[in-house]
Amino acid sequence: MAGQAHLLGPDGALTQLARRPVSTILWGPPGVGKTTIARLLAAESGLAFVQISAIFSGVADLRKVFDAAQLRLKQGRQTLLFVDEIHRFNKAQQDGFLPHMEDGAIVLIGATTENPSFELNAALLSRAQVLTLHRLDDAALAVLLARAEAEAGRPLPLTPEGRAALVAMADGDGRAALNLAEAALALEGGPFGAAELGARLMRRAALYDKTGDQHYNLISALHKSVRGSDPDAALYWLARMLAGGEDPRYLARRLIRMAAEDIGLADPDALRLTLAARDTYEALGSPEGELALAEAVAYLALAPKSNAVYAAFRAAQAAAKATGAAPPPAHILNAPTKLMREQGFGAGYAYDHDAPDGFSGQNYFPDGMKRGVYYLPVDRGFERELRKRLDYFAKLRARRRVEEQAP
C-alpha cells in the first residue's frame, strides 16, 4: 500500500484485518486504494475474492453471489465479497447482506465515498467496522510514480518542477497519478517543466460533489472560517466551492445566514452588505458578480461577532412552545367593539409616548407567565450600544414597579 500509514504497521487496523478478516466499510475519496485493499486482504487471508459494483448489480446478481458463497461455505471456504459504491444499494438491498454475514458465508468489504452514517442502514453498520481512508499525500504519490517508472523501465520525462506539478495535478488521487504518469511517459521529447506539462496534460478536476459530503464539508469550513474571523481561510473555501461548480446563489444565501446568525446586531451593516452582494451577483452573474460575494465574505470575517439574537430567538421559541396558546394580556389588546371593551380588552393600557421617558414599563407577556430574559447583547461592536439601551430600559422598568407598589 502507498499511503494510509494510520492503518498499517504491526498494530494497524488493516494489518489486524489481514490476520482475521471481519466485515468492514472502507470510507474515503476516490483513488486512495479501496479496491487494492480488498484484493490484498483476500490474498493475505486466503478467502475467495468476489467483486461487484452496486452501480451495475441488482437483486438477481446479489442472489447469485450469495448462493455461490453459501456453496463455498459448505466446502469449508469463506468468501470475501468486495462491493464497490455500496451506498448505491437501497436499504432493502443492504438488508440482504445481513444473513450471509451472520452465518459466515461472506466477509463484506464495502467501499464508499459517502458518509456511512447517512448512506448505510444501522443494521449493516452494527455488523461492520468502518475504516476511514485519507487522500494520498505527496510522499505516497511519489511512491506510486517511482513504481510506475520501475514498471516502465525508464524515468518520467519531467524536470523536478514538472514532477511536482504532476503530483499537484493528481490532487491526492493515486489512480489519477498513475494515469497522468502513463500519459507523461507517452510524450515525446522532454524533460518537461511545469508549464510544458500543464500545456500537454489535463489537470484533474477538483473533487467536489454539490450534493454529497464535500458540499457540506466545504460550506462548513467556509462558515466556521467566517465565524472564526479568518478572512484568508474564508476566501480560500469560497474559491474552492466556486471552482468546484457550486451555485453562487446558494453561497449568497448562506452568507446572508452567517450575517444573521454570527454577526447579528454587533454589526447591522453585515446583513445589508450580504443582501447587496446577492443583488450584485444577480445583476452581473459570473464571474464578475463573484467579486461581490468575496467582498461580503471578507467583511463578515472581520466584523464583530455576536449570536445573541440567534440565541435569544431560540430561547423565545422554546418558551413559546412551552406556553402554548397563552393569550396576550388583556390590557394590550385592541377593543374595537363594545363587547370587547366590556370584557376588559384594552383596559389600563398606557400609551408609551405619553409616559415619562417615552416608556411605560408595562407587562407584555401573557398573564401569569414569568418575564423572560432572552436577548443578552455582547460587549462587541454595535451591541455595546444596545446593551446600554437594554440596561436603561431595565432600570426604568424597575423604577415603574417601585412606583406602582408605593402607597
Closest C-alpha among 259, 250, 179 to residue 218: 250
CA distances from 189 to 159, 184, 186, 328, 381 (A): 12, 10, 10, 84, 62
5-132: CATH number:
3.40.50.300
Q: pLDDT higher for 330 or 201?
A: 330
Q: Is the fold of 5-132 the same as that of 213-302?
A: no
Task: Please tell me the distance from the alpha carbon of residue 171 to that of residue 31, in angstroms, as a whole number.
Answer: 10
213-302: CATH number:
1.20.272.10
- Residue found by looking up cell 514498471 in the block: 151
Output the nine-digit C-alpha cell for 95: 438488508
Domain boundaries, the chain: 5-132, 138-200, 213-302, 309-405
In words, the CATH class of domain 309-405 is mainly alpha
Percent of the chain past pLDDT 70, that is, above it, reads: 97
Mean pLDDT taken over the chain: 91
Closest C-alpha among 218, 155, 219 to residue 190: 155
Q: What is the pLDDT of residues 72-128, one digit of tens each?
A: 999 999 999 999 999 999 888 999 999 999 999 999 999 998 889 888 999 999 999
Q: Is the pLDDT of residue 210 over 60?
A: no
Q: Angle, to 10 degrees, between the axis of helix 138-152 and the axis of helix 174-185?
A: 40
Q: How many CB atoms lie within 10 A of CB 89?
A: 24
Altogether, the residues listed in the chain come to a count of 407
HEC string of 15-39 equals HHHHHCCCCEEEECCCCCCHHHHHH
CA distances from 196 to 177, 189, 192, 204, 212 (A): 17, 11, 6, 16, 35
| Contact predicate 196/162, CB 8 Å | yes
Q: How confident is the model at residue 5 (pLDDT cuts 50, 70, 90)?
A: very high
Task: Please tell me the distance from the alpha carbon of residue 281 to that of residue 250, in angstroms, as a whole number.
Answer: 11
Task: Please tell me the distance from the alpha carbon of residue 66 to that of residue 72, in angstroms, as a whole number.
Answer: 10
Q: Is the pLDDT of residue 203 over 70?
A: no
CA distances from 307 to 292, 300, 330 (A): 24, 13, 33
Closest C-alpha among 189, 187, 185, 196 to residue 162: 196
Quick one: average pLDDT of 224-244? Answer: 94
